[in-house]
Amino acid sequence: MAVLLLAEVTSGELNMDATAKAVTAAAKLGDVTVLCAGASAKAAADQAATIAGVAKVLCAEGDSLGHRLAEATADLIVGMAGDYSHICAPATTDAKNIMPRVAALLDVMVISDAMGVVDADTFERPIYAGNAVQTVKSTDAKKVITFRTTGFELAGTGNAAPVAMVDAPAASGLSTWVEDKVAASDRPELTSAGIVVSGGRGVGSEEQFALIEGLADKLGAAVGASRAAVDSGYAPNDWQVGQTGKVVAPELYIAVGISGAIQHLAGMKDSKVIVAINKDEEAPIFQVADYGLVADLFEAVPELTSKL
Amino acid sequence: MKVLVPVKRVIDYNVKVRVKADGSGVDLANVKMSMNPFDEIAVEEAIRLKEAGKAEEVIAVSIGVKQAQETLRTALAMGADRAILVVAADDVHQDIEPLAVAKILAKVVAEENPGLVICGKQAIDNDMNATGQMLSALLGWSQATFASELAVEGDHAVVTREVDGGLQTIKVQMPAIVTVDLRLNEPRYASLPNIMKAKKKPLDEKTAADYGVDVTPRLSVVKTTEPGTRKAGVKVGSVDELIAKLKDEAGVI
């Protein structure tokens, strides 16, 4: 079977981690063709061609495909859908914007956030904020899937798949880009970082979140936050870890001042080692933590940062 | 301008979800049900547009079991003007898939001609995150997903979206579909007088068959299971002990 995988390309750059993990998932279904689309996408396509397991790379460049706008990218995919049994993407915000649109245009259901591939028709996905796992079998002729990448290993590199250019569709005229507010950061990207330090409501304020950032920087870690911390304005939205935010599975996850609401656990419980620092010894986060420290974070975090 | 707001009846946000022992699904019998929290934010935003003079009428629509009329009454109590219930299932355990919901909504849109459809970005039961995008595709309308700010200006809307890496602002031609994220607004509570008034507001009842939409699921549920659980580890007594464990035992720093 032939599988089309929409690579995660943002401002011309390939998100290697998300794309290479999605390749691992897609390779279980058949021969993988990767599509890199954007206002500029050639460099991303050349990089995607190095991912092991990729049979072919298609590159579509055009202004209509820039700035994450869903309409033209969906049209591009639908136009080439006839050649593929499965159309998939890593479950990023961009893919979640585009893939349901693709599915509806093809009159099929989308399978969102698949975390396991049972067979070519059957997938496992989390429901109820990760409180249950549903195995669904698609009866549609064509499957449209987004993969939750934490469920799949990173594919290797060293490949040299052929890259072919394809035409970009015309702009839909429906949506236009105004501006991006993307915080520049030297820290690793949250979903691919080896270590993540997250703060919760217990951190208390935006200023005090500097404690979390200080510990993260000492460890070379990404910074995350609970929904409560984001809703309270202590941390920006793209730091949110949880069912409705980002799903992470680093080697080490340090939860500071996070009680451990189920929707937060859904976003980090596949981490290899979990550390919880919380002054409430009854906090649910301790039920999933490998190492729990019952302590005042305002004392424990500076001490930890200084001793590392 | 009319604003259409689809709302879904789901298990209440605070209820502990129990997977049925036979693996057939999640137990919804005798469980408190409420409006999907993302949809509450959508209703609130629509009402604010009306209060700001940008919309004339707010119509709430729900597709599912008959009991969803309670959810619609909540939307009416918050301030929606009228409601449409589309009965598409008899059993509370039958979830109507986003594709079927979008097809029915497309028919409702054709009848009502709203300038804007505001949806929650996902329902907290099936977590699909698809209905708004699918409706947009079926109508050929512009879409602005995961909104944290929305401004209606003449024949277009300016929407700030929560995306990986930060925020993005786009301008969409109306009519448009907007799906809302958590930070858009804080939904109001319905006051007792408004709950009483809501009982007298119009609520039309239809069926999926009235719209000629087949709601047969495309995804059949093979089984539903408890997620894998982690065992609680150990409590450490000090920062020094924690560092020692992470270095020597776990080997992660």
- What ipTM was predicted for this assembly? 0.95
Dihedral (CA of A79, B180, A256, A287) sign: negative
Residue A120: pLDDT band with limits 50, 70, 90: very high
Calculate the CA A25 to chain-centre distance. Answer: 14
Q: For residue A131, which residues of chain B lie inside 8 Å, CB to CB?
A: 17, 19, 26, 227
Structure tokens at B191: 């006051």
Residue that has been written with the tokens 């930890």 in this structure: A304
Q: What is the bridge-based pairing of β-strands B2-6 and B9-11?
A: unpaired
Tell me which residue of B146, B27, B12, B152 sits closest to B91, measured CA to CA. B27
Mean pLDDT to the nearest integer, B232-248: 95
Statement: residue B181 has pLDDT above 90: yes
Asked if B167's CB is within 8 angstroms of A182's CB, the reply is: yes
Q: For residue A111, which residues of chain B lie inside 8 Å, CB to CB?
A: 219
Residue B114: pLDDT band with limits 50, 70, 90: very high
Identify which of B26, B97, B98 has the shortest CB distance to residue A128. B26
| A28 CB burial (10 A radius; 0-12, 13-18, 19+) | middle
Question: pLDDT (tens digit, 9 = 90+) per residue, B71-92?
Answer: 999 999 999 999 999 999 999 9
Measured in residues, chain A has a length of: 308
CA distance B161 to B147: 4
pTM: 0.94
In a 3-state reduction of DSSP, which class is residue A96? helix
B185 interfacial to chain A (CB closer than 8 Å): no
Q: CA dihedral defined by B174, B176, B182, B186, rounded to 10 degrees?
A: 50
Least confident of A94-98, A116-120, A211-215, B10-14: B10-14
CA distance B247 to B253: 5
Asked if B183's CB is within 8 angstroms of A231's CB, the reply is: yes
Q: For residue A137, which residues of chain B lie inside 8 Å, CB to CB?
A: 219-220, 222
Q: What angle in degrees, to the nearest 10, is found between the helix axes of B98-112 and A93-105? A: 70
Question: pLDDT (tens digit, 9 = 90+) per residue, B19-33?
Answer: 999 999 999 989 999
Q: For residue A127, which residues of chain B lie inside 8 Å, CB to CB?
A: 26, 125-127, 224
Residue B13: pLDDT band with limits 50, 70, 90: confident
Q: For residue A19, which residues of chain B lie inside 8 Å, CB to CB?
A: none
Q: Detail the DSSP E strand segments found in chain B.
A: 2-6, 9-11, 33-35, 57-64, 82-87, 116-120, 142-153, 156-163, 166-173, 176-180, 203-207, 219-225, 234-236
A290 interfacial to chain B (CB closer than 8 Å): yes
Q: For residue B181, which residues of chain A lie inside 8 Å, CB to CB?
A: 237, 244
Close Cβ partners of A274 (under 8 Å, ≥ 6 residues apart):
A253, A254, A255, A268, A288, A289, A290, A291, B230, B233
Q: For residue B239, which residues of chain A lie inside 8 Å, CB to CB?
A: 293, 295, 300, 303-304, 307
Tell me which residue of A232, A223, A163 sits closest to A199, measured CA to CA. A223
Question: pLDDT (tens digit, 9 = 90+) per residue, B214-224?
Answer: 999 999 999 99
Tell me which residue of A285, A286, A289 sits closest to A264, measured CA to CA. A285
Distance in Å, alpha carbon of B201 to nearest chain A alpha carbon = 32
Q: How would you label A258-278 residue by residue, b for 16+ Cβ within 10 Å and e otherwise? A: bbbbbbbbbbbbbbebbbbbb
Identify which of B121, B182, B220 has the shortest CB distance to residue A137. B220
Q: Chain A residue with minimal CA distance to B229?
A: A288
Question: pLDDT (tens digit, 9 = 90+) per residue, A222-231?
Answer: 999 999 999 9
Tell me which residue of B89, B109, B114 sits closest to B2, measured CA to CA. B114
Which H/E stretch holds residue B240?
A: helix B239-244
Q: What is the mean pLDDT of chain B?
A: 96
Q: Chain A residue with minimal CA distance to B237?
A: A293
Calculate the CA B167 to chain-centre distance. Answer: 21
Asked if A134's CB is within 8 angstroms of B165's CB, the reply is: no
Q: For residue A135, which residues of chain B lie inside 8 Å, CB to CB?
A: 221-225
* Best residue in A111, A128, A217 for a mutation probing chain B (most B CBs within 10 Å): A128
CA distance A78 to A81: 5
Statement: residue A89 has pLDDT above 80: yes
A305 interfacial to chain B (CB closer than 8 Å): no
Asked if A97's CB is within 8 angstroms of B242's CB, the reply is: no
Q: What is the bridge-based pairing of β-strands A132-138 and A122-127?
A: antiparallel
Identify which of A133, A179, A237 has the shortest CB distance to residue B148. A237
Tell me which residue of A143, A93, A145, A92 sits closest to A121, measured CA to CA. A143
| Touching B: A residues 37-66, CB under 8 Å | none
| Touching A: B residues 152-181, CB under 8 Å | 158, 162-173, 176, 181
Distance in Å, alpha carbon of B50 to nearest chain A alpha carbon = 24
Question: What pLDDT, on the 0 to 100 scale, is given for residue A81?
Answer: 98
Statement: residue A183 has pLDDT above 80: no
Q: For residues A36 and A48, is the Cβ–Cβ distance under 8 A? A: yes
Q: For residue B220, which residues of chain A lie inside 8 Å, CB to CB?
A: 136-137, 139
Q: Chain A residue with minimal CA distance to B178?
A: A97
Question: What pLDDT, on the 0 to 100 scale, is given for residue B157?
Answer: 98
Count of beta carbons in the 10 Å neighbourhood of residue A31: 14
Question: pLDDT (tens digit, 9 = 90+) per residue, A6-15?
Answer: 999 999 999 9
A11 interfacial to chain B (CB closer than 8 Å): no
B182 interfacial to chain A (CB closer than 8 Å): yes
Question: What pLDDT, on the 0 to 100 scale, is given for residue B228?
Answer: 83
| Touching B: A residues 190-229, CB under 8 Å | 191, 195, 219, 227
Residue A252: pLDDT band with limits 50, 70, 90: very high
Structure tokens at A290: 């490998």
Question: pLDDT (tens digit, 9 = 90+) per residue, A137-148?
Answer: 999 999 999 999
Distance in Å, alpha carbon of B51 to nearest chain A alpha carbon = 25
Tell me which residue of B41, B32, B39 sits closest to B11, measured CA to CA. B32
Structure tokens at A109: 């259901």
A70 interfacial to chain B (CB closer than 8 Å): yes
Residue A176: pLDDT band with limits 50, 70, 90: very high
